[in-house]
Amino acid sequence: MNIKYTILGFLSWRPLTGYDLKKLFIDTIFIYWSGNNNQIYRTLVQLHHEKLVTNEVQHQENGPTRKIYTITEKGLSELRIWVQSTPELPQLRNSFLIQLAWADQLGPEELDTLLKKYEDEIHVQSLMYHEHKKRNLVNPARTKRETYLWSMISDNVIASYEHELAWIRTLRKELGE
């Protein structure tokens, strides 16, 4: 994930603070980000330096000062160029598969316990993403097409987890026979 373009994308939706961006990163199911808050703020400083965003300091009587970031025309242009660039293929990195590759050394019960743990985790994630989609926490919804695109992105994530769940259940069943 490229944090620069993700932030520009969110700012193309509406002006936001660094804190607002952090919440959007957490609440958007298809954005995989494991960085820290400093990464968001460093990127915002970089984007400001490159004149891709502006910021406005807003003083509040009953709270801390807020810095609100807005995308510039130059930022919109750079985001548009990136959106039109050749898409990257998905990175299929699943550390469980590496674990599983050497799981033959486990006894039948140990292996089933490992597989059951994985199945349970995948099931919880699937339920969480179904609920997330139902609540529709993050969706700019500026147009019908944008709403549809975000819905289909959520469906893609959910389908991935459902596929993984079906796969692990088949694996457990066939190993049990």
pLDDT digits (tens, 9 = 90+) for 6-49: 999 999 999 999 999 998 888 887 887 666 778 999 999 999 99
Give me the sheet containing 53-58, strands edge to edge.
16-17, 66-71, 53-58
Chain-centroid distance of CA 124 in Å reads 17
What is the reported pLDDT for 37? 74
Per-residue pLDDT at 138 exceeds 80: no
Question: In which residue are the tokens 């316990």 written?
Answer: 113
- Quote the pTM value: 0.80
Q: Which residues contact 65 (CB under 8 A, 6 or more apart)?
A: 57, 58, 59
- Label residue 141 by pLDDT band (50, 70, 90): confident
Per residue in 88-125, pLDDT (tens digit) is: 888 778 899 999 999 999 999 999 999 999 999 999 99
Per residue in 38-84, pLDDT (tens digit) is: 899 999 999 999 999 999 998 888 888 899 999 999 999 999 999 99
- Label residue 1 by pLDDT band (50, 70, 90): low
DSSP 26-81: HH-TT------HHHHHHHHHHHHHTTSEEEEEE--TTS--EEEEEE-HHHHHHHHH
What is the reported pLDDT for 94? 87
What is the reported pLDDT for 17? 94
Bridge partners for 70 per DSSP: 54
What is the reported pLDDT for 35? 66
Mean pLDDT for the chain? Answer: 90
Chain-centroid distance of CA 149 in Å reads 15
Q: For residue 6, what are its two tokens?
A: 């993700």
Are 69 and 55 in contact by the 8 Å Cβ rule? The answer is yes
